[in-house]
Amino acid sequence: MRILQTILILFFFTTALFSQQQSPNILLIIADDMGIDSTPGFGINEDLPSTPTLDSFREKGLSFTNCWAAPQCSPTRAAIMTGKFGIKTGVMRPPTTLETSHTSIFTKIKEQSSTDYSMALIGKWHLGSSSGANEYSHPNDSGIPHYEGVFASQVANYYDWTKVNSAGNEEQITEYATKHLTDNAISWIGDQTKPWFLWLAHVAPHAPFEIPPSGTYTTIPTDNRTTYLSMIENMDYEINRLLESMDAETLENTVIIFIGDNGRPGQTNNYWPTGHAKASIYEGGIRVPMIITGKSVERVNEVETSLVQAADLHATILELAGVQLLGGTENSLSLKPSLQFENQISNRINYTDYESGNIEYWATRNDTYKLIEDENGGEEFYNIVTDIKEETNLIGSLTTEQETIKTMLQQEAQIIRTDWSCNDGIKNGTETTIDDCNNTCGTTDVLSYDNIPCIYLPSQPSVY
């Protein structure tokens, strides 16, 4: 009996150790104020920075070309942290505090993953502060074991700025912020002896627009626009330096996620119409680059055109860390299946929201059309495929088909804002299975042309 017990103990110990060794490291890199028009390989604009590191991510991984974020940084970060849209967290504009009652991705990994992960957030926080004596404890209060970086929206000067940590300490830094944060990331990763999750939130290329250290960029900085591009090139350089600091075994076992938090700032915009860049709910404010590469990614040098959103990274990272989900959680659909196989993202309605001037705005879209609404009854409707710059508002001249789609988008938006969608591929709200709709969406799993409530009429038979 003792021999059997010893064998069982060794078996379970070996299994747990093997699981730990196989669990991937997860590196999430967020660029600040970088939309698809600022990113090579995303099909628009020719005035682009040189980004060989990001280019290699695309060549070795999967690019998502229809990814929405929020129009400014705090709501996007809150969505990744919680898996919820701004209407659910209350974080619909900066500065707004993300209340710790919303369970963070760090807490979920700690409590729900079978792997004991080391975790850290290095870089920009901008999700508010704690109400106690130590305002810098907010990251720790949100479940983050190690935090150091920039607490506000930006640095005062890239070469002279204040770094804080969750212990309440402040330190004046006199080296370029992107380099310093990269050095911190290199140091932290180098200290780890078990699987890790690092959220690296660069402040670049957010204003102020300041020339990076020589030898780290190729675009000659002469104004805000060209300096902005050189800052992206510097960030690309530093990301490569971070990768080169890892040994081959660590790098091979690391999945890398790159995303922009919102679109390009207006001071540097030369592509979108005036008022359609950052801080707007137009594509120039919300469509961002997202690339996933490295461990677990089998779709190499491929493009995913399905509708996804920054909030989806919450569920995706949880599943990469070994947390089992049914489709996803909250408003977050796990993209992990799409990293191996095509056609894994259900036909969904994309959504985002924002508050500006004390007015709430929100947008929904299907594959072709986008509807923008506000709480005062304003409406804009665009063919987002033929009119990505949103220069022709179709309201007032809609066809019968377009009216039907507009109504469907309006209904879905209201469901998302007041309840939980039953058309998102996620088991959320009071659903007992994925999209069971509380039995209000009609018969499921039926091959039919019938118009089932909560969806639009299919053009070919589909299983719903």
Q: What share of the chain is helix, strand, coil (3-state, %, to 5)?
A: 30, 20, 50
132: pLDDT confidence band, cut at 50, 70 and 90?
low
Q: How far apart are CA 348 and CA 345, in angstroms?
A: 8
Q: How far apart are CA 242 and CA 247, in angstroms?
A: 11
% of the chain beyond a pLDDT of 90: 84
Q: How far apart are CA 368 and CA 385, in angstroms?
A: 6
What does pLDDT average to over the chain?
91
Average pLDDT score over residue span 413-418: 97
Q: What is the pLDDT of residue 250?
A: 97
pTM above threshold 0.85:
yes
Q: What is the pLDDT of residue 168?
A: 87
131: pLDDT confidence band, cut at 50, 70 and 90?
low
173: pLDDT confidence band, cut at 50, 70 and 90?
very high
| Lowest model confidence (mean pLDDT) among 1-5, 103-107, 242-246 | 1-5
Look at residue 302 and tell me whether its pLDDT is greater than 90.
Answer: yes
Give span(s): CATH 3.40.720.10, the chain.
22-339
* Spatial contact of 294 and 254, defined as CB atoms under 8 Å apart: yes
Q: What is the pLDDT of residue 458?
A: 47
Look at residue 3 and tell me whether its pLDDT is greater than 80.
Answer: no
pLDDT tens figures, 50-95: 999 999 999 999 999 999 999 999 999 999 999 999 999 999 999 9
Look at residue 12 and tell me whether its pLDDT is greater than 80.
Answer: no
Q: How far apart are CA 442 and CA 220, in angstroms?
A: 59
CA angle 291, 293, 297 (to 5 degrees): 120
Q: Are strands 379-383 and 369-374 parallel, antiparallel or unpaired?
A: antiparallel
Q: What is the pLDDT of residue 347?
A: 75
Q: What is the pLDDT of residue 174?
A: 98
Query: Which residues neighbour 287 within 8 Å (Cβ) at sequence distance 6 or greater?
Result: 35, 36, 66, 67, 68, 69, 263
Would you identify the CATH topology of the domain 22-339?
Alkaline Phosphatase, subunit A (3.40.720)
Look at residue 133 and tell me whether its pLDDT is greater than 80.
Answer: no
pLDDT tens figures, 427-462: 999 999 999 875 444 333 434 344 444 444 444 444
Strand partners, 373: 362, 379
Average pLDDT score over residue span 267-271: 96
Answer whether the bond into residue 145 is a cis peptide, omega within 30°.
no
Look at residue 161 and tell me whether its pLDDT is greater than 60.
Answer: yes
How many CA atoms lie within 13 Å of 284's alpha carbon, on the beta-carbon side? Answer: 22
Q: What is the pLDDT of residue 53?
A: 98
Q: What is the pLDDT of residue 346?
A: 81
